[in-house]
Amino acid sequence: KNQVEQSPQSLIILEGKNCTLQCNYTVSPFSNLRWYKQDTGRGPVSLTIMTFSENTKSNGRYTATLDADTKQSSLHITASQLSDSASYICVVSDRGSTLGRLYFGRGTQLTVWP
Amino acid sequence: EADIYQTPRYLVIGTGKKITLECSQTMGHDKMYWYQQDPGMELHLIHYSYGVNSTEKGDLSSESTVSRIRTEHFPLTLESARPSHTSQYLCASSDRGVQDQETQYFGPGTRLLVL
């Protein structure tokens, strides 16, 4: 059973609009949560990383929030652009090993239309 | 922009052939990883390495093998390709940063189709 669930599975919005992507996780213990952007045919690129003590982090038009009590995170995209069309992946790391095992969500496929 | 490279980007091959997927990084990272990703699905870790001469199997059972003779190079080999191996293979590397802040840098991926 996947310990990181993302919603919605896919989303279509018009250019210039805002949107929010959700991530719920059951991973325990918890080390950090990352949001990655994966363009079609490319590898994921890190957008934000948040540890237990952080509840919000911004990277340009991307703002991630984290509620470690409810084990929920969101990624808010402001004033969307065509180049924002991609899959957004939520990744949670535990502290159980030297490797710091990563748990991947299946991603939200965002399409921005002109 | 991460300096991690994968070749080939696309590969179509017949059943039974031996293939090697190349991965190189110029960032001097000790840790390297191979993931398998099917469309619309999460990434699955199939192999990882802590450094030269270190290789470990990941969470997802895989018939592939890896080697780490040089820090910058982490090739993945399939001795006999099968249609079930059709997938996208992503290579990644990370440095020895504080674990809580460690970030993996991904290559562009290799899309493999086995006929």
A30-47 confidence digits (pLDDT tens): 888 999 999 988 899 999
Residue B107, CA atoms < 13 Å, CB-side half-sphere: 32
Of A2, A4, A43, the CB nearest to B90: A43
A56-109 confidence digits (pLDDT tens): 999 999 999 999 999 999 999 999 999 999 999 999 988 755 566 889 999 999
At B74, the pLDDT band (50, 70, 90 cuts) reads very high
B43-61 confidence digits (pLDDT tens): 999 999 989 999 999 888 7
Structure tokens given for A20? 């929010």
State chain B's mean pLDDT as an integer.
91
pLDDT at A69: 92
* Chain B nearest-CA residue for A33: B100
**Helix (H/G/I), strand (E/B), else coil: B83:** helix
Which chain A residues have a beta carbon less than 8 Å from that of B25? none
What pairing do the DSSP bridges indicate for beta strands A102-104 and A86-93? Answer: antiparallel
Strand order in the sheet with A72-77: A4-7, A19-25, A72-77, A62-67, A56-59
Phi, psi at residue A84, to the nearest 5°?
A: -80, -10
User: Cβ contact (<8 Å) for A42 and B108?
Assistant: yes
User: d(Cα B82, Cα B105) in Å, to the nearest integer?
Assistant: 28
CA distance A56 to chain B (A): 15
pLDDT at A2: 65
**Helix (H/G/I), strand (E/B), else coil: A17:** coil
A2: which DSSP letter?
A: -
User: Cβ contact (<8 Å) for A42 and B103?
Assistant: no
Cβ–Cβ contact A89 with B under 8 A:
yes
At B1, the pLDDT band (50, 70, 90 cuts) reads low
Tell me what percent of the residues of chain A surpass a pLDDT of 70. Answer: 94
- Across the range B17-37, mean pLDDT stands at 95
Tell me what percent of the residues of chain B surpass a pLDDT of 90. Answer: 77
